[in-house]
Amino acid sequence: MKTTTKKRLERAGWKVGSVSDFLGLSKEDEAFVELKVALAKALRRRREERGLTQAELARLVGSSQPRVAHMEAGEASVSLDLLVRTLLALGSSLSDVARVVRTAGRARAA
């Protein structure tokens, strides 16, 4: 958010903070959410690189298209295990998955 916008909102009586502040997330919860979002984005990117539709990916991993959509959205019902297993099924290596985790960690440290 721009500094000028933040100041204007604060002058108007609004409290400005982060999503984590608003939701009351612990540092661990925040890190978990960021990791899940990073894996979900990597999954979608990998699926698109392979030229697959969500329905085709669902058939590949024995799931449904709506479930793949939930994976790509990083929904709460989707486990990290499912995201990682699906990335591996798409041909990602363990190094590729580790790179996503490292990238999520670096973004958090910045």
Q: What 8-state DSSP symbol labels residue 78?
A: S
Pairwise CA distance, residues 6 & 15, whole Å: 9
Three-state secondary structure call for residue 87? helix
pTM: 0.78
pLDDT in tens, 3-37: 898 888 889 998 887 777 778 888 888 889 899 99
At residue 54's C-alpha, the angle toward residues 52 and 55, to 5°, is 95
Residue with tokens 């899940």: 36
Tokens of 56: 């085709």
Question: What does the pLDDT look like over 51-108, one tens digit per residue?
Answer: 999 999 999 999 999 999 999 999 999 999 999 999 999 999 999 999 999 988 776 5
May I ask the CATH class of domain 26-109? mainly alpha
Contact 42, 92 (CB under 8 A): yes
Domain boundaries, the chain: 26-109
| Alpha helices per DSSP H over 1-110 | 3-11, 19-23, 27-49, 54-61, 65-73, 80-89, 94-109
